[in-house]
Structure 1
Amino acid sequence: MSLMTRPFPPPPLKIGDLVIDPPILQAPMAGFTNAAFRQMVREFGGAGLLATEMVNARGFVWLDENEAEHPDRLWGVADEPRPLAVQIWDNDPNTMAKVGKRLVEEYSVSVVDINFGCPVRQVTEKAHSGSYLLREPDRMFRIIDQLVKACAPTPVTAKIRLGCSRESVNCNEVARVVEEAGAAALTVHGRTAQDMFRGNADWERISEIKSHLRNIPLIGNGDLDSAEKVVAAFQNYNVDGVMIARACLGRPWLFAQAAAALRGDPIPPDPTLDDQRQCMLHHYELVRDRFGEEKGTVLMRKYACCYAQGKRGARHFRTHVARVATAGEFYQVVQEHFPTQ
């Protein structure tokens, strides 16, 4: 670990003219960070900037041209509190610029973020997008440059990984390209695309990137699953902000704990198991109100598994909740099988 002399508590994060305080961001996660989840995070507090699921830019254009409803992943975006980032992905600069302009003009989003980090094969090998583009810095430049021009003055940011593989780590070069193209901030996940989510995030590598940026902030992402780790990231590594991802999915109170730790306040304890159960049920109500009982119940299965993760009896609960199809079944399984200790 590279111990550094860093100001503490860290100052607010600036993305263009937008001030993010505290400098703790909620990661965009496909299939999870919809409006219901974002509301849960807001109710606990502590996140300086929230983000949508990643939106397929090409799919958005198709829906628009065919006068269909805009993507479910934009549910809630028009009306919810700001600041709010929307993350988009594709490999065509014109398509990305067109969608970015719409997000700014019609949805008044606070930040347009570009996904250059998704390692999932459907996005990389099939669509030549996400982390696939790390092998094409010139195309990344064109995408960012056109999007920045289309979205001005709304800031455009980029999220990357260290590289496509451990043999082709090129995050330093890519960081320079991102800044030169006009992006207002860079977020780096400390793994390669090849790693997926295996092993540990390399915060040393993330920290080294800072020396390759002149003016824009660096946001670190990976393995931040406690308030103590958030504090350590700021104290020990050269980052201006942090992004919390998978660890928050069943713990929307994690941001509030991290924010308290950064202020130097006592870290609030986790809610009691009974309170966590009630939190999950409230989350279910938000999902069901939007998607209806059938679709909402199926969608809630994965969230319910996240809420139970790490608790005694979690596997038993997952086995039962994975089969629920109605509200009655969901409430019964929660009552009978959600961990109690």
Structure 2
Amino acid sequence: MDTPHQFDLTGIEPTTEDLKLPPLKIGDMVIDPPILQAPMAGFTNYAFRQIVRGYGGAGLLATEMVNARGFHWLDEHEAEFPDRLWGVEDEARPLAVQIWDNQPEVMAKVGRRLVEEFKVSVVDINFGCPVKQVTEKAHSGSYLLRVPERMGQIISKLVEACAPTPVTAKIRLGCSMDSINANDIAQVVEQSGAAALTVHGRVAAQFFKGEADWERISEIKSHLKKIPLIGNGDLDSAEKVYRAFRNFDVDGVMIARACLGRPWLFAQAAAAIAGKPIPPEPTLVEQRDCMLKHYDLVVQRFGESKGTLLMRKFACCYAQGKSGARHFRKHVANVATPQEFYEVVEKHFPIETPAPA
């Protein structure tokens, strides 16, 4: 197995040079800064996106991925829209909605509805999800990397249905290490009319293990004639974002899991690539207050009971990497009411940096 290119930050001082990056254009839309928030199922809902917007730095935000067939069924039966579209109609723009399925006609109908009724800025297609429920059961997500012609059909139908709203695609390098085909897939994506391509630098079989291969992401650029390439994978610091732009042939980057407990990461990354001082991490008290604001937004939408249950995983993200995080996670994983949540946060959320040994 090839060894993926690692991020070596030795000698890099990202605050000393404005990279003077050319504008990232998706269709006629300029994404500034060229830093995108990844769509993540179960996490990037309206509440999270509002927290990110509060800090700034993300040029394009995205919803959780939406099951196109499920959306279509709800629409036909005049049921409520999926929770994953919570807030989309009234939210600030630009905003991307990511959808997935393997049926071109269904995808096209849903895409058109998103454009006409929800006025979304971008319709993104998920060709990268490695989860078995999506791949093996639904033959969608990264499974479709095995069937480039079907990918082309889906993209073409969506481009036609959504025009003039741009359609983009997100892929992985391939299904497995012995079937890496991202260079060929990139050409299919472009020739089918997509306005941009995002590549996660792992194969589907890796899920999120190992390290993203930015060399292979960068190689894809030479196989594209006009649409931008957006790199994704392991961007967990402003320094790594800076290095991705400086050392690899990408037009934009997408930040994923690292931002879940650090929504201020986008602002830090935007400062780095502009040659400005990187804002410091918020204090632990400020981070706790950010989490509580996030909790309030979730409860407003889903009610106290469901909102508290949903917030457990977010609370764990906010504590990640801090002294005492395991202790906090143990307690917050069992909360069921607002009173219990606030008590656990008050008693166990780490708000003091331990003194040096």
TM-score, shorter chain, exceeding 0.5: yes
**Gap regions ≥5 residues in structure 1:** none
Taking the aligned partners of 2:259 and 2:18, their CA distance within structure 1 comes to 26
Relative to the length of structure 1, the TM-score reads 0.98
Work out which of the residue numbers 21, 45, 48 in structure 1 matches 2:56: 45
Aligned to 1:309: 320
Work out which of the residue numbers 130, 133, 142 in structure 1 matches 2:141: 130
Relative to the length of structure 2, the TM-score reads 0.94
One-letter identity of the residue aligned with 2:348: H
1:218-274 deviation per Cα after TM superposition (whole angstroms, max 9, x unaligned): 000000000000000000000000000000000000000000111111000000000
C-alpha displacement of 1:9: 2.6
Tell me: CA distance 1:299–1:26, structure 2 relative to 1, closer, same or farther (3 Å).
Answer: same
2:290 equivalent to 1:279: yes
Taking the aligned partners of 2:78 and 2:193, their CA distance within structure 1 comes to 32
Taking the aligned partners of 1:29 and 1:192, their CA distance within structure 2 comes to 17
2:327 equivalent to 1:291: no
2:99 equivalent to 1:88: yes
Aligned to 2:346: 335
For the aligned residues, what is the CA RMSD?
1.3
Aligned to 1:241: 252
Q: List structure 1 segments (4+ residues) > 6 angstroms apart after TM superposition.
A: none
C-alpha displacement of 1:12: 2.1
Work out which of the residue numbers 123, 130, 143 in structure 2 matches 1:119: 130
Aligned to 1:232: 243
Aligned 8 A contact 2:19 2:275 in 1: no
Aligned 8 A contact 1:8 1:235 in 2: yes
**What is the aligned-residue identity percentage?**
77
1:294-321 deviation per Cα after TM superposition (whole angstroms, max 9, x unaligned): 0000000000000000001101100000
Aligned 8 A contact 1:220 1:242 in 2: yes
**Gap regions ≥5 residues in structure 2:** 9-16
Q: Secondary structure at the match of 1:323?
A: coil
1:154-193 equivalence runs, <5 A: 154-193=165-204
One-letter identity of the residue aligned with 2:20: P
Tell me: CA distance 1:272–1:128, structure 2 relative to 1, closer, same or farther (3 Å).
Answer: same
Aligned 8 A contact 1:123 1:129 in 2: yes
Taking the aligned partners of 1:82 and 1:13, their CA distance within structure 2 comes to 16
Aligned to 1:270: 281
Aligned 8 A contact 1:111 1:156 in 2: yes
C-alpha displacement of 1:339: 1.1
Q: Secondary structure at the match of 2:194?
A: coil
Aligned to 2:208: 197
Aligned residues: 339
Aligned 8 A contact 1:160 1:188 in 2: yes
Aligned to 2:269: 258
Q: Secondary structure at the match of 1:22?
A: coil
